[in-house]
Structure 1
């Protein structure tokens, strides 16, 4: 998922053939690059023993560049693998493999995330595996009880997401549970401050023809602060993102993407609007009725948490309104259309209204539901 940065070969033209050679045979002046590549290929034919409990398949390192410094060498590679039964498309990881000459042959001495690339969960320590009926939970630095509880919650979230989203998807999910907020941020390649207070996030590519290798990544600190009901809402929200991934594109408004996920999470429950939308309720009662549906920028992490909460709450109430007024099938159809058509066209086809009409109806519903505590 992180782009591979090709290393520059710094050598005199007369030595170029030395760097492009490589492994199983004794190293010579013309074969270093080839021998290194062959050494990496031989070493990576099977996953490491410490990953034996993880259902890995298609495990392979594709070397893109080799740098040699005397009896030491570094290979830049892309790791490809799938989690059997869960990934329809391979996951990728930029890696740096270190080798040294041993008895005239190159031997792998270490493997880590490439500089600037996020690590894998197993780079952070031993990985525990818990399987649910619909979920595979991989944890590092977590108790078996914590991982089993998350697997049980995921097993409830997957059917809830499927009930809200009848479109095709795998109907199963992979959940990563690192040891801390900082470890979570490492996996995502972002600052920890962006995820403080959050229960979980989802990774993956939007609009993929084949279902991508999505991961729900739990923030163990935020998760611990959630109630049982809150955990169900958070995980169903994230699983819904996995379910709708192939129908989502850069064209899909974030208010629709995030609002639909919240609508799926609250769907069928008894949660009162004022309980689920406290920040927006406070704004409406102050006379600060939103003038428009939340813009994409309103969902950016790391800003004003109150403003972020109002964006999510407003998005949920917009999708709730569509489902209540035009029907759940119309909301699902709108989501499917909005990934490939301009929103006004998608709205007209799915509901018969336009953005101005939807905004006016949404504002009226906010006054009705949130104007009084």
Structure 2
């Protein structure tokens, strides 16, 4: 099952969480040599200079920490100190880490880091670095990162070795097939490349999202990103749950990657006004487009409901997409949304479906967005659209 792809999605997660940090000391209270220490540490990361990195550190695992991230292709890496508190020869600090993936991020991503500092012989060193309180983990916090480049993709995964690299190449092949499929279905401007992140486990996925793992059981992948951007926002990240994704067949894996890539493509035209039935339904429409899958094959949960005289009365609400553990409810929400978008494509045409998506997303707030889009693009009222959708469900699944 794919996940949402908009900035307000899942606990308000965007590409990164900016976390304010407490403490009585203002950032300017930090000595200049602490700032210079972080500058040297950033320079060592960018220069791939393990010796220089270790020279900034008194960490027991400094070599391991450096090795974990040396496989990440970086275009920039910078610390900006936000808080500093000293107690004798030790200090705690927080800093915004701003970084860009080479060839993929148009702007830096920002995440908050907590640092423990140690002063020795008048020189400051980093004794520990970790995600700040309430900040999400980064992939390299979980282990050594291996990167694989595809024609349209960059896949970053935890683990090193031939088996790990082979798995990541399989992900890259799927993502490389997804990008042209999405490009053919969505003709708006987008980068036409994706970053796929593959943690080792469900717990690793949850760590990257900053949420309990129990909420993502059975969810194959999610997309994080900022919505309604002008094109200058950082690249989205497709985050895979290797446990749920791994049990899918080849067809299912491709549909999921195509679905998530659609969220990347449509990000700039997705806003808080876009209901989940439209954003998720459109992504599934692209995922299944051209596959030949029938409604009965791709919507088994909703088919059972329709045949059991439990035809939905309204389009799925946003709450129906919550990761509450009710797999049947979640599946029906996705299936009903897909069929709503499929109906638009069949009865009004694919171009009108795209126009409708853009018209709704052009609104900044939810009230009136769908109603206006239905009226202006499809020339139908919300009540008549829902009635037509219910008739369509009966015809396809009854």
How far did 1:21 drift? 3.8
Task: Assess if the C-alpha contact under 8 Å between 1:36 and 1:66 holds in 2.
Answer: no
Equivalent residues in 2 for 1:152-231, closer than 5 Å: 152-209=173-230, 210-231=232-253
Equivalent residues in 2 for 1:130-145, closer than 5 Å: 130-141=148-159, 143-145=164-166
Task: Assess if the C-alpha contact under 8 Å between 1:199 and 1:219 holds in 2.
Answer: yes
CA RMSD of superposed structures (Å): 1.6
Equivalent residues in 2 for 1:12-51, closer than 5 Å: 20-22=29-31, 34-47=32-45, 49=50, 50=67, 51=69
Match of residue 302 from structure 1: 324
Match of residue 85 from structure 2: 67
Secondary structure in structure 2 of the residue aligned to 1:313: helix
Task: Assess if the C-alpha contact under 8 Å between 1:233 and 1:266 holds in 2.
Answer: yes
Equivalent residues in 2 for 1:224-303, closer than 5 Å: 224-303=246-325
Once residues 21 and 335 of structure 1 are traced to their aligned partners in structure 2, the CA distance between those partners, rounded to angstroms, is 49
How far did 1:256 drift? 0.3
Q: Is it true that 1:357 corresponds to 2:378 in the alignment?
A: no
How far did 1:357 drift? 1.7
Task: Assess if the C-alpha contact under 8 Å between 1:81 and 1:91 holds in 2.
Answer: yes
Match of 1:5 among 20, 28, 36: 20
Once residues 21 and 272 of structure 1 are traced to their aligned partners in structure 2, the CA distance between those partners, rounded to angstroms, is 63
Q: Give the number of the structure with larger relative contact order, counting CA–CA contacts within 8 Å between residues 6 or more apart.
A: 2
In terms of Rg, which structure is larger?
A: 1
Stretch deviating more after TM superposition (321-330 or 69-78): 69-78
Task: Assess if the C-alpha contact under 8 Å between 2:19 and 2:133 holds in 1.
Answer: no
TM-score, structure 1 normalization: 0.91
Match of residue 118 from structure 1: 136
Match of residue 30 from structure 1: none
Once residues 194 and 320 of structure 1 are traced to their aligned partners in structure 2, the CA distance between those partners, rounded to angstroms, is 28
Secondary structure in structure 2 of the residue aligned to 1:275: helix
Match of 1:149 among 170, 180, 183: 170
Secondary structure in structure 2 of the residue aligned to 1:73: strand
Gaps of 5+ in 1: 11-15, 23-33
Stretch deviating more after TM superposition (345-354 or 286-295): 345-354
Q: Is it true that 1:97 corresponds to 2:115 in the alignment?
A: yes
Once residues 3 and 82 of structure 1 are traced to their aligned partners in structure 2, the CA distance between those partners, rounded to angstroms, is 16
Match of residue 13 from structure 1: none
How far did 1:74 drift? 1.7
Once residues 88 and 352 of structure 1 are traced to their aligned partners in structure 2, the CA distance between those partners, rounded to angstroms, is 38
How far did 1:115 drift? 1.9
Match of residue 371 from structure 2: 344
Once residues 353 and 267 of structure 2 are traced to their aligned partners in structure 1, the CA distance between those partners, rounded to angstroms, is 16
Gaps of 5+ in 2: 1-15, 51-66, 364-368
For residues 108-132 of structure 1, the C-alpha deviation after alignment (integer angstroms, 9 at most, x for no partner) is 2322111221110001111011000
Task: Assess if the C-alpha contact under 8 Å between 2:23 and 2:84 holds in 1.
Answer: no
Q: Is it true that 1:330 corresponds to 2:357 in the alignment?
A: no
TM-score, structure 2 normalization: 0.86
For residues 224-268 of structure 1, the C-alpha deviation after alignment (integer angstroms, 9 at most, x for no partner) is 100000000111001100110011000001100000000000001
How far did 1:340 drift? 2.1
